[in-house]
Structure 1
Amino acid sequence: MQALTAGLEKEFAYCADVTAQHYENFSVISWFIPKDLRPHFCALYAYCRGVDDLGDEWTGNRLEALDQWEQQLDLCYNGRPTHPIFRALQISIQTYHLEKRDFLALIEANRMDQSISSYETFSDLAAYCACSANPVGRLVLQLFGYRDDRRQKLSDDICTALQLANFLQDLSVDIPRGRLYIPLEDLRQFDVDLTDLQAGRFNRQISCLMDFEIQRTEQFFRSGQPLEHMVPTRLGKQLRLYRLGGQAILEALRRRGGNPFPRPTVSALAKAMLIVKLFISPRHIGGESH
């Protein structure tokens, strides 16, 4: 590992700082990730974080900034990037043969965010998740040498579930930005008035809507769960941590009757309990047997 990162210690340290500084419900990198892979996880996360920041927070021309981000990615594959994140990422790409299309999909998702503010159907939203979330799981599998369709499909389900859970958690954050990540067809099904969501007015219709969205998200978590037993034990633990973290968001919403206003959070105690749960065999936990 030292030979791989020789001369780029500062760049990988930069990526590690990006990973450590940004808020997440649960740690992106834990000791479950083998030590030699952690710098590459940080490089991957720093890339993803950078794309999202450009798409959500950049005060200038976001499309132009995303184009520049893509140019740096191009240089990772056929040149010499100048940005520290990409200088580190180039080593990860070359070492683990990471697919360019997955990195590009993440950029495309943020381009979509600049022109699309809502999604008519769940199929439309799922297609967005295929760009905004699923490529991350596929890249993680590639770091471990997995490229088969079966594992990728299971990973897609978990990543889609995590994305959907975050959408539900961040409803009160996204709406002021002019974005709604709940299908409009679902609002109509449960007779939810968009103006109530925009005003943060919680009512019975929104409660029923959120219950429906929570159940659908849980289905994706359950569908992808077998992946945890199809990878090395430590990666399986990390994947389980991600899943349990996403399910904890759903549980936090359930305890509030589905009220997303203000933004629900997972308590420190709940996080600690999840760490304990990681070391309990799934067959001893209700609803997690196979």
Structure 2
Amino acid sequence: MTTLTLQQAYQHCQQIVRNHYENFPVASWFLPKKLRLPISVIYAFARHADDLADEGELNDSERYKALEHYQADFEKALKDSYSDNPLFFALTDVIKNHQLPTNLFFDLLTAFKMDTKTKRYANFDDVLNYCHYSANPVGRLLLHLHKQNTAENLQNSDAICTALQLINFYQDIHQDIQENNRIYIPTNELAQFNITEQHFSEQINDVNMQRLMQFQTERAEKLMLSGTILGQQLAGLFGLEIRMIIQGGLAITYKLQKISNVFDRPRLTSRDKFVMLWHALRKTT
């Protein structure tokens, strides 16, 4: 039997990135070349878990079991420092070489498993708890890769990543319920604005719905702004990348607040991207 080489394992992960190029963070190409490969491996890990949670014809129970098997295989790879699965073989090498906390990978898997079981959130704290697992580990891993994982940086990164996750929710409010029966806006806030689930499934764009989404986006914007100092403090290409990510989130938030139909998905134009880069280079918001 042919033994899998580390080079083959990394090539496998790079192919996953190429297959999902449209979803791979464009700003990551601002990163130092030496970090693009480990980031592609981390992306491949999360991408496959996301596919298990959302893609295909499995029911939620089957998806949960598939994610449990995925986690067990990952745990075995960590124990053995090897796996016949090229993704896990490459990932264990990345974790070892960059001294990455393994709990952050388990946090991501927790979020994917939550998606198979939790379809509604009672309050905003519950949504923040989900973001703690689904979004914050990504920023923390980037900081660990760059050896910039101070307590202050981690806190600011959490604010940015949670805000980005919320903004992503607000772009997909109809798609989430239509495709996965999920609503990420707290049920107590739906009641506060006299919103029913039919607003989401039937795309009812009335005044109450507009007020609800204005409230959501303004809160996400404040959260994003609370973490922007991270982009100012990080130097070099990594700092530029973080500032571009922040600018992108703020640009989408602005469009969400100005859009007439809350179910329309905003798009960034070439001009928007130029303005984002201008602010990122000047370190302004």
Is residue 23 of structure 2 the alignment partner of residue 24 of structure 1?
yes
Partner of 1:238: 241
Q: Structure 1 length as normaliser, TM-score?
A: 0.89
Please point out which of 49, 55, 74 is paired with 2:53.
Answer: 55
Q: Structure 2 length as normaliser, TM-score?
A: 0.90
Kept in 2, the 8 Å contact 1:172–1:262? The answer is no
Residues 93, 262 of structure 1: CA spacing in aligned structure 2 closer, same or farther, 3 A cutoff?
same
CA distance in 2, matches of 1:252, 1:83: 42
Please point out which of 197, 202, 207 is paired with 1:199.
Answer: 202
The Cα of 1:152 is off from its aligned counterpart by 1.0
Partner of 2:36: 38
Is residue 157 of structure 2 the alignment partner of residue 159 of structure 1?
no
Return 47-56 or 267-276, whichever deviates more. 267-276
The Cα of 1:25 is off from its aligned counterpart by 8.5
- Correspondence list, 1:77-116, <5 A: 77-79=78-80, 80-116=82-118
Please point out which of 220, 224, 242 is paired with 1:221.
Answer: 224
CA distance in 1, matches of 2:35, 2:257: 36
Amino acid at match of 1:118: R
Partner of 2:8: 10
Once the two structures are superposed, residues 83-117 of structure 1 have per-residue CA deviations (whole angstroms, 9 ceiling, x without a partner) of 22222111110001111111001111111111110
Kept in 2, the 8 Å contact 1:72–1:82? The answer is no
Amino acid at match of 1:180: I
CA distance in 2, matches of 1:40, 1:25: 13
Structure 2 SS opposite 1:221: helix
Structure 1 SS opposite 2:144: helix
Amino acid at match of 1:189: Q
The Cα of 1:210 is off from its aligned counterpart by 0.8
Structure 2 SS opposite 1:82: coil
Structure 2 SS opposite 1:179: coil
The Cα of 1:28 is off from its aligned counterpart by 4.9
Kept in 1, the 8 Å contact 2:194–2:208? The answer is yes
Kept in 2, the 8 Å contact 1:77–1:90? The answer is yes
CA distance in 2, matches of 1:148, 1:273: 30
The Cα of 1:8 is off from its aligned counterpart by 2.6
Partner of 1:171: 173
CA distance in 1, matches of 2:53, 2:79: 25
Which runs of 5 or more residues in structure 1 are unaligned? 1-6
Residues 28, 91 of structure 1: CA spacing in aligned structure 2 closer, same or farther, 3 A cutoff?
farther
Partner of 1:148: 150
CA distance in 2, matches of 1:76, 1:230: 36
Return 54-63 or 13-22, whichever deviates more. 13-22
Partner of 2:137: 135
Once the two structures are superposed, residues 117-150 of structure 1 have per-residue CA deviations (whole angstroms, 9 ceiling, x without a partner) of 0101000100010011111111111111233321
CA distance in 2, matches of 1:227, 1:129: 19
Which runs of 5 or more residues in structure 2 are unaligned? none
Residues 25, 187 of structure 1: CA spacing in aligned structure 2 closer, same or farther, 3 A cutoff?
farther
